[in-house]
């Protein structure tokens, strides 16, 4: 029986361990926290899984929350800086999306994997410990970018785009809202002001209150929505969020009127990076990196947990052929990168300003939900967006297959302009 040590009980670590123990490997899972300690940690990222990744977790028997809300649609409201909504894209997802509190997922995952025969070891792991693990296992996989491993996996300059954070992030989970008054929030809602801020409203299963909504704010650094850096509590953060939403997305303000925060909130920033997937230890032995340890994206495109799941699934299906060499591991990573790179390209594309043809696609999607459905499929399968959503001629070619001509897009643009002008002309003056 072949043996593997997985360092990190996050998304990649839990999924990889479940897949390999099912395949007959002897698995050791090293976690810095126990199952009980996970439940006491502060809020963690929203980590919404889409379609195929939700189904794969279920295939592995990791779907422990049938009562958690599933999202079946996404609605995008695109606004101008002064607040009015320009247009909306409301379309179905091809498979349901699911966001479960990672504190619950990782706590339950540790217990379940131990029940299945995985050796769960709790405690911090150092680089020296990695050397010991490589001596006693056929393979060691690191799935976390722990401070102890800073610099372990070298930055890949050819595959990395950014050297600084592209957004300032704030996340808070809320409950107590009125879904009957705001039924669109039964599914996922995006509210964007291009070049200023993106806000994601995601159905969520919170460890403390159950059904809730996770709200993620991505603000352009130094811009008018970059307001959360001094936030020190959930209540403080919710107050800042209410002010921001009232200014940029007034139609959403009512959803927050009765909302109260759960224990989950966080702020910060992410510097996207791709690293060398194999690190050589002082002993000369090597370890493989997966998940955020080697591919870290800004959460704007929702690819973190999805990418970790895809990566774990890919390697779990191939490790039986592992020959013990670093070259084999790098070759498999390169093979994965042929499709995995699209998640990075999707994330980088979302961070960039919308192009004229992307606006044309979204405008057309506001009239044709089939186009919107294909756009949303990118969150599940980023490769499905290429080339047509990131290349002008390909975008216009695809629109033509849906019967959308350039003249139609001009007409859609004129309709939006008339609505915006009418709102400005007939807006009630502010009271004296």
pLDDT, tens digit (0-9, with 9 covering 90-100), for 18-50:
999 999 999 999 999 999 999 999 889 999 999
Does residue 432 register a pLDDT over 60? Answer: no
Q: How confident is the model at residue 84 (pLDDT cuts 50, 70, 90)?
A: confident
Percent of the chain predicted with pLDDT > 70? 97
Does 422 lie in the same domain as 307?
no
Q: How confident is the model at residue 423 (pLDDT cuts 50, 70, 90)?
A: low
| Exposed e or buried b per residue across 196-207, where buried means at least 16 C-beta atoms within 10 angstroms of its C-beta | bbbbbbbbbbbb
Q: What is the pLDDT of residue 419?
A: 78
Does 75 lie in the same domain as 194?
yes
Please give the structure tokens belonging to residue 42: 């502060």
Peptide bond into 387 cis (omega under 30): yes
Q: Looking at the domain assignment, is residue 179 inside a domain?
A: yes
Does 422 lie in the same domain as 295?
no
Query: In the predicted model, what is the mean pLDDT of residues 140-158?
Result: 89
Summary mean pLDDT of the chain: 95
Q: What is the pLDDT of residue 161?
A: 94
Q: Looking at the domain assignment, is residue 432 inside a domain?
A: no
Q: What is the pLDDT of residue 383?
A: 98
Cα angle vertex 27, ends 62, 127, to 5°? 110
Q: Looking at the domain assignment, is residue 314 inside a domain?
A: yes
Does 157 lie in the same domain as 291?
yes
Among candidate residues 176, 179, 307, the one with its CA nearest the CA of residue 234 = 176
Does 104 lie in the same domain as 17?
yes
Does 170 lie in the same domain as 255?
yes
Does 146 lie in the same domain as 10?
yes
Segments forming the whole domain that contains residue 294: 3-65+100-162+272-348
Q: Looking at the domain assignment, is residue 51 inside a domain?
A: yes
CATH for 291: 3.50.50.60
Among candidate residues 332, 347, 339, the one with its CA nearest the CA of residue 383 = 339
**Number of folded domains that form the chain:** 3
Query: In the predicted model, what is the mean pLDDT of residues 318-328?
Result: 97
Does 393 lie in the same domain as 338?
no
Q: How confident is the model at residue 418 (pLDDT cuts 50, 70, 90)?
A: confident
Does residue 79 register a pLDDT over 50? Answer: yes
Does 331 lie in the same domain as 207?
no
Helix, strand and coil in the chain, % to nearest 5: 45, 25, 35
CATH for 178: 3.30.9.40
Q: What is the pLDDT of residue 123?
A: 94
Does 194 lie in the same domain as 255?
yes
Among candidate residues 359, 303, 351, 349, the one with its CA nearest the CA of residue 197 = 351
Does 278 lie in the same domain as 255?
no
Q: How confident is the model at residue 82 (pLDDT cuts 50, 70, 90)?
A: confident
| Radius of gyration from C-alpha coordinates of the chain | 23
Does residue 146 register a pLDDT over 80? Answer: no
pLDDT (tens digit per residue) in 208-226: 999 999 999 999 999 999 9
Q: How confident is the model at residue 288 (pLDDT cuts 50, 70, 90)?
A: very high
Q: How far apart are CA 317 and CA 205, in angstroms?
A: 30
Does 252 lie in the same domain as 386?
no
Q: What is the pLDDT of residue 430?
A: 46
Residue at a domain's end among 292, 316, 348? 348
Q: Looking at the domain assignment, is residue 251 inside a domain?
A: yes
3-state secondary structure at position 297 = coil
Does residue 147 register a pLDDT over 90? Answer: no
Does residue 376 register a pLDDT over 80? Answer: yes
Q: Looking at the domain assignment, is residue 431 inside a domain?
A: no
| The model's pTM | 0.94
Cβ neighbours of residue 316 closer than 8 Å, sequence gap 6 or more? 15, 16, 19, 20, 23
Q: Looking at the domain assignment, is residue 57 inside a domain?
A: yes
Residue at a domain's end among 250, 269, 288? 269
């Amino acid at each position: 029986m072949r043996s593997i040590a997985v360092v990190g009980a996050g998304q990649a670590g839990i999924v990889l361990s479940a897949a390999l123990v099912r395949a007959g490997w002897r698995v050791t899972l090293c976690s810095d926290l126990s199952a009980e300690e996970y439940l006491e940690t502060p809020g963690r990222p929203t980590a919404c899984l889409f379609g195929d990744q939700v189904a794969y977790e279920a295939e592995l028997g990791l779907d422990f929350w049938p009562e958690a809300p599933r999202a079946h649609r996404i609605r995008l409201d695109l606004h101008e800086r002064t607040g009015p909504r320009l247009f909306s894209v409301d379309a179905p997802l091809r498979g349901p999306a699911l966001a479960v509190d990672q504190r619950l997922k990782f706590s339950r995952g540790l217990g379940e994997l131990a029940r299945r025969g995985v050796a769960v070891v709790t405690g911090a792991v150092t680089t020296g410990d990695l050397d010991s693990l490589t001596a006693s296992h056929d393979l060691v996989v690191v799935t976390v970018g722990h401070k102890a491993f800073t610099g372990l996996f070298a930055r890949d300059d050819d595959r990395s785009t950014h050297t600084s954070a592209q957004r300032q992030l704030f996340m808070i989970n809320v409950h107590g809202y009125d879904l009957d008054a705001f039924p669109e929030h039964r599914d996922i809602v995006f509210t964007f002001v291009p070049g200023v801020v993106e806000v994601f409203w995601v159905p969520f299963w919170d460890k403390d209150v159950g059904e809730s909504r996770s709200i993620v704010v991505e603000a352009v650094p130094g811009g008018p929505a970059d307001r959360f850096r001094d936030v020190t509590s959930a209540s403080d953060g919710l107050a800042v969020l209410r002010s921001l939403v009232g200014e940029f997305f007034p139609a959403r303000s009512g959803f927050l009127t009765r909302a109260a925060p759960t224990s989950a909130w966080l702020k910060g920033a992410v510097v996207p990076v791709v690293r060398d997937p194999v690190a050589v230890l002082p002993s000369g032995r090597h370890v493989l990196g997966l998940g955020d340890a080697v591919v870290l994206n800004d959460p704007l495109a929702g690819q973190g947990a999805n990418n970790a799941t895809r990566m774990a699934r890919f390697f779990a299906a191939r490790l039986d052929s592992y020959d013990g060499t670093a070259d084999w591991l790098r070759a498999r990573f390169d093979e994965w990168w042929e499709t995995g790179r699209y998640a990075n390209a999707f994330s980088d594309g979302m961070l960039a300003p919308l192009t004229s043809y992307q606006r044309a696609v979204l405008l057309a999607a506001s009239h044709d939900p089939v186009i919107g459905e294909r756009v949303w499929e990118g969150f599940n399968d980023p490769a499905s967006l290429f080339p047509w959503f990131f290349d002008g001629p390909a975008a216009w070619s695809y629109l033509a297959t849906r019967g959308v001509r350039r003249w139609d897009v001009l007409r859609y643009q004129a309709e939006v302009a008339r609505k915006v002008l009418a709102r400005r002309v007939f807006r009630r003056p502010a009271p004296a």
